[in-house]
Amino acid sequence: MLMANPEQSTGETMFLLLVLIGLAYVAYTYIKSQTLQRENALEAKSSLISNKLSQALDSMDGEGAKSVEVLTDVNLAETRISQGVQSLQVIDSAGVIIADHKGLTFVGPHRRMAWNWNKIIHIIGNQQPPRKFDWFASSWDNFIPVKKSMQNIILPVSNRQRNSGFQIQANDSVRFNIIDFIEHFIGKSIQEESSKEKGNKQSKSASNIVVNVNQTITDSVVQGNLTNFES
């Protein structure tokens, strides 16, 4: 009767262990390199967006174009009610945002929506929350970082009951730049209204509009809308 060689068995075990460690290291290195590539691509894209916003602001403030494309590859979102619960849902994608003296306009393959400067009552911005762990996901899906970092800009307006806004793939700095851009033209709109209707009650009301970038929304429905985008 042949007896197993303990030294041979231990050697095979060690070999298999080293192979597994090597494979794990290769997988880790690959995931890390892919993550770095995505981060670099996102930074480059975000830089281009910020530059475009700055150029658009200068052009609209100066003697340049009165209508400028400021954002591309944008998703449009609006509140929807499902089973009595409100949430923001993506209703169009791959659109552009155009700015002019009246406000912002989303132009997409299927939908158009405008937000007039003098009608915007809040600017609500946040980043799309990280993806939750999915026990039923296949292969490495749970361990690969989220490919898109979506920035949400919600613009409640006084002339519509539903909240609406847009989202774009970019880093946090772009969100801040977009908010600054919107604030600039809201302020400009308020000044223009005040100069035209000085002493008028409507002008006085308009001049009291407050745009709070870091506003804490106590309404649980609105707060939920910011983190529950559904496509």
Tally of domains within the chain: 1
Residue 78 is assigned to a structural domain of this protein: yes
Q: Is residue 76 part of a domain?
A: yes
Q: What tokens appear for 11 in the block?
A: 């050697």
Domain contains 34: yes
Q: What is the dihedral of CA 36, 40, 45, 47, to 10 degrees?
A: 140
Assess if residue 171 is contained within a domain.
yes
Residue 100 has pLDDT above 60, yes or no: yes
**pLDDT (tens digit per residue) in 111-164:** 999 999 999 999 999 876 555 555 665 555 555 544 457 899 999 999 888 899
Q: Give me the pLDDT at residue 95, please.
A: 97
Whether residue 106 lies inside any domain: the answer is yes
Decide if 17 is inside a domain: yes
What CATH number does the domain containing 163 carry?
2.30.29.30
Q: What is the CA radius of gyration of the chain?
A: 25
In this structure, is residue 2 part of a structural domain? no
Residue 165 to residue 124: CA distance in whole angstroms: 9
DSSP string, 148-185: --EEEEE--BTT-SS-EEEEEE--HHHHHHHHHHHHHH
Nearby residues of 188 by Cβ (< 8 Å), 6 or more positions away: 117
Q: Which domain holds residue 100?
A: 11-132+144-226
Mean pLDDT of 200-206: 50
Q: Is residue 219 part of a domain?
A: yes
- CA of 197: how far to CAs of 134, 169, 181, 200, 203, in Å? 57, 40, 25, 5, 6
**d(Cα 116, Cα 102) in Å, to the nearest integer?**
5
Looking at per-residue pLDDT, the higher value among 3 and 108 belongs to: 108
